[in-house]
Amino acid sequence: MSDAPRPTAVAGTFYPAEPGRLGQLVDTLLAGAAAAAQPAGMGMESIVGGLVPHAGLVYSGAIAALTWTLAGEIAPTTVVLAGTDHQASAAGVGVWTGGPWQTPLGEVPVDRDLALRVAGLGPPFAPDDDAHFLEHSLEVQLPLLLRACPGARIVPLAVSPRLRTHADAGARLGRLLAELRSGGDRILLIASSDMAHYPPARVCEEVDDRLLVPLLELDGEALDELEAAVLRAGMPGLVCGLCGIDPVRFTLAAVAEMGATQGILLGKATSADAGGHPRRTVGYAAAAFV
């Protein structure tokens, strides 16, 4: 097991590499999220996890900040991050067990004791630092996490599209985290996924609205079936409904074991809302699981 830190992979592309510019951007995003109205009837003590998008911060950061601002109010000691494994590098759920993750705003410490306990759950969980080195889906969260949840440690998980046991693996993780939370540990589980990819903005909004229904009902199987049906419909430009459907399905099973009964939508948008081309868009959504 290495103590070496994980260097940045997408600083300068997905977010500014210069600390001053990045800090100013993150502070602006979090301030905007803090000024937004929160859904009614959501107690902080009932939140066990959330959903964040992971595109470049200038596009998806305003939506991601909604979840991270809420997380900051909870002040977690550890955030377990279930990320999209775009390269399909992990065999199942690749657990980072190495050193801290570097960002232009400072290092984010890893909860290595919990990381080893998660890896110790056995297949499909396994130590796999290599799956994380080029992946951006968790790295882009860290500038927001550092500002919103100072002092929090992370347990990064790369959830592979090769995973075939989403419900079982998620439930096993959820039972472990529920046990720790019952002992007083402030742990959140955050899934990282963008929504529809590359249709025109109107189609993107339609697809996202449809897929958010089973997602917010914590129904991973129905979400998977609906995404497949949407793709078969041949909507213009659509290549996927959720690029991170695997970590989302995994997380839905986990948060159900942690006591959640629903997801609450915090906000949604498309890349066109942030100045992207309206004929080729990506959807973003933020949610809390309660």
**pLDDT above 80: residue 221:** yes
For residue 206, tell me if it sits in a domain: no
For residue 207, tell me if it sits in a domain: no
For residue 3, tell me if it sits in a domain: no
**pLDDT above 70: residue 41:** no
Q: What angle do CA 247, 165, 234 make, to 5 degrees?
A: 60
Q: How many domains does the chain have?
A: 1
- Model confidence at 212, pLDDT cuts 50, 70, 90, reads very high
Q: Which of 87, 114, 113 is nearest to 9 (CA)?
A: 87
pLDDT digits (tens, 9 = 90+) for 222-278: 999 999 999 999 999 999 999 999 999 999 999 999 999 999 999 999 999 999 999
- Residue 54, number of CB atoms within 10 A of its CB: 26
Please report the pLDDT score of residue 37 as a whole number.
Answer: 80
Q: How far apart are CA 47 and CA 68, in angstroms?
A: 12
**pLDDT above 80: residue 42:** no
- Residue 91 one-letter amino acid: A
For residue 13, tell me if it sits in a domain: no
For residue 155, tell me if it sits in a domain: yes
Mean pLDDT score, 214-224 = 98
Residue with tokens 């419900």: 167
pLDDT digits (tens, 9 = 90+) for 109-145: 999 999 999 999 999 999 999 999 999 999 999 999 9
For residue 137, tell me if it sits in a domain: yes
Query: Could you tell me which residues come within 8 angstroms of residue 93 by beta carbon, excluding any fewer than 6 positions away?
Result: 124, 125, 126, 157, 158, 159, 160, 163, 169, 173, 250
CA torsion angle 54 16 97 132 (round to 10): 60
pLDDT digits (tens, 9 = 90+) for 160-210: 999 999 999 999 999 999 999 999 999 999 999 999 999 999 999 999 999
**pLDDT above 70: residue 147:** yes
**Residue 84 is inside which H or E element, if any?**
strand 78-84
Q: How far apart are CA 135 and CA 139, in angstroms?
A: 7
Please report the pLDDT score of residue 1 as a whole number.
Answer: 67
pLDDT digits (tens, 9 = 90+) for 50-83: 999 999 999 999 999 999 999 999 999 999 999 9
**Residue 207 is inside which H or E element, if any?**
helix 201-216
pLDDT digits (tens, 9 = 90+) for 97-110: 999 999 999 999 99
**pLDDT above 80: residue 26:** yes
CB 102 within 8 A of CB 110: no
**pLDDT above 80: residue 43:** no
The tokens of 16 are what? 């500014």
For residue 131, tell me if it sits in a domain: yes
Please report the pLDDT score of residue 2 as a whole number.
Answer: 78
**pLDDT above 80: residue 40:** no
Domain at 105, CATH number? 3.40.830.10
- Model confidence at 91, pLDDT cuts 50, 70, 90, reads very high
For residue 217, tell me if it sits in a domain: no
Q: How far apart are CA 41 and CA 43, in angstroms?
A: 6
Percent of all residues in the chain with a pLDDT value above 70, rounded to a whole number: 99
Strands 49-52 and 187-192: parallel
Q: How far apart are CA 9 and CA 87, in angstroms?
A: 14
Q: For the chain, give the mean pLDDT.
A: 96
| Domain membership of residue 29 as a residue range | 19-195+243-274+285-289
